[in-house]
Amino acid sequence: DERVCHALARSGALEQLKFVKANVSDLLWSHKLTDVAAEHGYLATLQWLHETGVPLRTSASHVAAESGHVHVLTWLVAKRVYDSKIYIHAAAGGNVKILAWLVERSFPTDWLTCEAAARNGDLDLIQWLREHGAELDEGVCTGAASGGHLHVLKFARENGCSWRGSACEGAAAGGHLQVLQWIHANGGPWDARTFTAAAQRGDVGMMQYLLQQDCKWSVKTCAAAAGGGHLHALQWLRERGCPWDARTVTAAAASGHLEIIRWARNMGCRWGTASISAAVRNEHEQVATWMLQNGCTFDEATVSAAIAVNATDFMRLMRLSEGVVFISDKMIEAARNTCRPSTIPFLEEWKRRWSHLLPPPDAALAPEEETASLHQLQMN
């Protein structure tokens, strides 16, 4: 399947890729393949994929810059397949060679470049960037805090860098309690996003500290714990009165945490079409199937998500459930780019299944009539 192509691109096995291309017709050749070739420095493979029509995106330049492949980046830049984020990815990879190459060609730097270097704790690189025109600002504090690099954070503050709540949020997200305490002790601001970041990690010890220090939380805090797969943290939050809503289930679904969805539903947490769509969009088909079988409703956005990830089996389950969704020509056209060719006839049949319920083009309903009409369809 497509995973075989990815493995071949990852190893630069060009002849084997050519064989697969010539002998297997029902495969999806997406930009993920060109990204893999660029990331691992296989320029000949990348060029062949491009010549055969596999799309190139700016993400290819990002992974080439972060991995330090100047020859690949040179070709991509010549093809104008890049954006300003290549600087950031080069800094994230600590690749001074790539950064120098970019400086020589007058690519502009921005604060995100220094933030990426700070996140890695690379003080030498920060100073190099500063010498080559980069300005230090709050992003350096955020990056240093996120990476847990107190020495870089202190350097930034000593050199006039401002900070915002994102510094505390970054420290919490990285699990760096000592850094978080230092920021708070030195007047750094925080808000509910800090608590939410700790919940995302499932860090009950840090949440206990934040609760003792009167840091706020929000409904997003429970959602973050659920999305991170931390049932114990979610239970800890609920026991102390942290609010939740359908976003908690949606976050768990997006990350594929079925145990959390079951617990949340048993405790009365709501869900909706966005919840099942999140599971599908992130390719958690088993989770989406359980949700469908246990009464979670779906809509056109769910079908579009399934099309985007080539989830043909789940599309067939939705079709069998007899839920009313209208398959548009736009959806079918999208499927031609993301799904195997055999999926198209199935979608066209699904479109015909409900097309007779659509009003004629010249009989547009008023908003309240349209809502009533759709409700009637769902009830029938």
Per-residue model confidence as pLDDT tens digits over 274-324: 999 999 999 999 999 999 999 999 999 999 999 999 898 999 999 888 677
Per-residue model confidence as pLDDT tens digits over 184-198: 999 999 999 999 999
**250's torsion region: left (phi>0), alpha (psi -120 to 50) or beta?**
alpha
Instruction: Identify which of 210, 217, 149, 157 has the alpha carbon closest to the alpha carbon of residue 187.
Output: 157
3-state secondary structure of 230: coil
User: CA-to-CA distance for 314 and 316, rounded, in angstroms?
Assistant: 5
The beta strand positions in the chain, using DSSP E, are: none
Per-residue model confidence as pLDDT tens digits over 38-50: 999 999 999 999 9
> Is the separation of the CB atoms in 190 and 168 below 8 Å?
yes
Per-residue model confidence as pLDDT tens digits over 223-274: 999 999 999 999 999 999 999 999 999 999 999 999 999 999 999 999 999 9
pTM over the 0.85 mark: no
Q: 133 vs 368, which has greater pLDDT?
A: 133
Per-residue model confidence as pLDDT tens digits over 57-68: 999 999 999 999
Per-residue model confidence as pLDDT tens digits over 61-106: 999 999 999 999 999 999 999 887 888 888 888 878 888 888 778 7
User: CA-to-CA distance for 303 and 350, rounded, in angstroms?
Assistant: 11
Per-residue model confidence as pLDDT tens digits over 121-148: 989 888 888 888 777 888 899 999 999 9
What secondary structure does DSSP assign to 103-124, as a single string?
HHTTPPP-HHHHHHHHHTT-HH
User: CA-to-CA distance for 105 and 91, rounded, in angstroms?
Assistant: 16
> Is the separation of the CB atoms in 18 and 40 below 8 Å?
no
Domain spans of the chain? 272-356
